[in-house]
Amino acid sequence: MSDKSTEKVNVEELLAKANKPKQISPKYHIFYGGKIETSLKVPVRSLNDFSIWYTPGVAEASMQIKRNKDLVFDMTNKRNTIAIISDGTRVLGLGNIGPEAGLPVMEGKAMIFKYLGGVDVFPLCLNTSDPDEIIKVSKLLEPSIGGINLEDIEKPKCYYILDRLKEESNIPVWHDDQQGTALVTVAGLISALKVVGKKMSDVKIAVVGAGAAMTNTIKYLEMAGASIGNFVVADSKGILHQGRTEIEDKDNQKWKLCLRTNKHGLTGDISAAFKGADVCLAAARPGPGIIKKEWVSTMADDSIVFAMANPVPEIWPWEAKKGGARIIATGRSDFPNQVNNSIGFPAVFRGVLDSTAKKITDEMCLAAAFAISEYAEEKGLHEEYIIPTMSERGVFIKEAVAVGIKALEQGVTRLKVSRQELEERAEFYIKRSQDAVNLLMKQGIIKSVPF
């Protein structure tokens, strides 16, 4: 069989595999009626216990919290609870589908938070797209939750909402589409550069896509040692440069990239960004064919390509390999080197909640990125393993501890906790959550699907 026919079979098989979850997912959702529920964490030995957990006994707990509000973190589940806030305006690759259609996605996010990080989550899809109303609702929820995850909110208002809430809230606020994607991408690139033996400060980086994820990725990479002038960023209309004045009044974040990146003033279409680049980072639209193997062939030796669109990457891995790329990462689990937000956000919030942090700083996110890369390095880096998978529980514990330690170093926590306490809490909550699911499945309380 020729290479061409083999390639065709592979594509057909991969597309069929990619489409299978889409086909069976509605049946699963209807069978289970959603993915999450509220469960008890205290014993009920008899009805007499309700006098402790509820009236009259609960009154004393309430009065102690009234005298000292910080006791709410010890006497309630606030310390382990966050809210996912979304208006459904930019859901996955689906766009503006509204809050009701966004709810299955937010429940899925809540499930991952719980299973991988042991974090309890309320998914809240709001019936408003007004950024000031989203900010108001988020602030009104503060007495009941220990943090906020902003999710699937369109740009540019996602920048505005995050900046306002970080400034005005008394609990940590995070936007996974910006910070989560960025820190996991940075983690993968730190590892990839170690494999190919290149320095972060030296590499030229071509970026395909200039949305929230890539904007924040560039920010974190600069903090990690990359030279901002070595980035060449391209959107759908071509390379960003100071002559792109049509952007100035429409997108402040993108205009900043025009002013700070691309030190040689390159112009032209996307393909021009690849010439001589050591790295390509792409988070554009699903492919294939968004990136051409001919473009990859113009990159430097030992090049690195991150094609992270889902469900189909901007370029198939074997196409990037034919173009000369040495390391390829995608957003898919059926290829090596999956760049997946789920490696980041559960552990970040685990560390934030366990350290009682009041905010999530960029330095905490970068600490998480380095912890992920260090974990992979301890396991043994190679071309097809630059980032851990979701099945490796240890990476979440290591990452959570790194985030908590950085929060303590920056003085943004309510309490002082030790490294040992951070490790013990992370291991306890994550193991407890996964063991509980396994036990419920074993006992048939979580039923197996009959189809």
26-77 per-position pLDDT tens digit: 999 999 999 999 999 999 999 999 999 999 999 999 999 999 999 999 999 9
Tokens matching residue 419: 């490294």
Q: Name the CA radius of gyration of the chain, rounded.
A: 23
**pLDDT digit string (tens) for 221-238?**
999 999 999 999 999 899
Question: Could you tell me which residues come within 8 angstroms of residue 188 by beta carbon, excluding any fewer than 6 positions away?
Answer: 306, 329, 337, 339, 373, 386, 387
Q: Are 389 and 329 in contact (CB under 8 A)?
A: no
Bridge partner list, 121: 82
Q: In angstroms, rounded to a whole number, what is the distance separating the alpha carbons of residues 344 and 352?
A: 12
CB-count burial class (<10 Å; 0-12, 13-18, 19+) for 56: exposed
What integer pLDDT is reported at residue 371 of this predicted model? 98
CB-count burial class (<10 Å; 0-12, 13-18, 19+) for 44: exposed
Question: Is 109 designated active site?
Answer: yes
User: Domain residues for 349?
Assistant: 177-451
Q: Is residue 120 part of a domain?
A: yes
**pLDDT digit string (tens) for 239-258?**
999 999 988 876 688 999 99
pLDDT at residue 99 tops 60: yes
Q: Is residue 343 part of a domain?
A: yes
Q: Is residue 193 part of a domain?
A: yes
CA 257 to each of CA 28, 212, 374: distance values in angstroms, whole numbers, following the listed order = 43, 12, 30
Q: Is residue 391 part of a domain?
A: yes
The residue from 171, 195, 213 where one domain ends is 171
Q: What is the CATH number of the domain that holds 437?
A: 3.40.50.720
Does 335 share its domain with 439? yes
**pLDDT digit string (tens) for 275-295?**
999 999 999 888 889 999 999
Question: Is 54 designated active site?
Answer: yes
From the list 78, 109, 254, 359, the catalytic residue is 109
Q: In angstroms, rounded to a whole number, what is the distance separating the alpha carbons of residues 227 and 206?
A: 12
Does 146 share its domain with 189? no
What integer pLDDT is reported at residue 5 of this predicted model? 38
The residue from 140, 171, 202 where one domain ends is 171
Q: Is residue 12 part of a domain?
A: no
Q: Is residue 113 part of a domain?
A: yes
Task: Enumerate long-range contacts of 419-427, CB under 8 Å, 24 or more apart.
Answer: 421/354, 422/351, 422/354, 422/355, 423/397, 425/350, 425/354, 426/118, 426/347, 426/350, 426/351, 426/354, 426/396, 426/397, 426/400, 426/401, 427/397
What integer pLDDT is reported at residue 14 of this predicted model? 67
Total domains present in the chain = 2
Does 248 share its domain with 265? yes
Three-class SS of 191-221: HHHHHHCCCCCCCCEEEECCCHHHHHHHHHH
pLDDT at residue 390 tops 50: yes
Does 192 share its domain with 217? yes
Q: What is the CATH number of the domain that holds 89?
A: 3.40.50.10380
Does 150 share its domain with 29? yes
**pLDDT digit string (tens) for 354-373?**
999 999 999 999 999 999 99
Side-chain-side CA neighbours of residue 381 (13 Å): 21
Does 151 share its domain with 29? yes
Does 315 share its domain with 347? yes
Q: Is residue 10 part of a domain?
A: no
Q: Is residue 223 part of a domain?
A: yes
Does 230 share its domain with 245? yes
Q: Are 219 and 362 in contact (CB under 8 A)?
A: yes
**Which of 12-16, 137-141, 289-293 shows the lowest per-residue confidence on average (mean pLDDT)?**
12-16
Tokens matching residue 50: 């309700």
What integer pLDDT is reported at residue 1 of this predicted model? 33
Does 263 share its domain with 213? yes
The residue from 147, 171, 195 where one domain ends is 171
From the list 8, 20, 54, 431, the catalytic residue is 54
Does 230 share its domain with 297? yes
Does 183 share its domain with 252? yes
Q: In angstroms, rounded to a whole number, what is the distance separating the alpha carbons of residues 60 and 314?
A: 59
Does 183 share its domain with 231? yes
The continuous run of DSSP H or E covering 96 comes out as: none
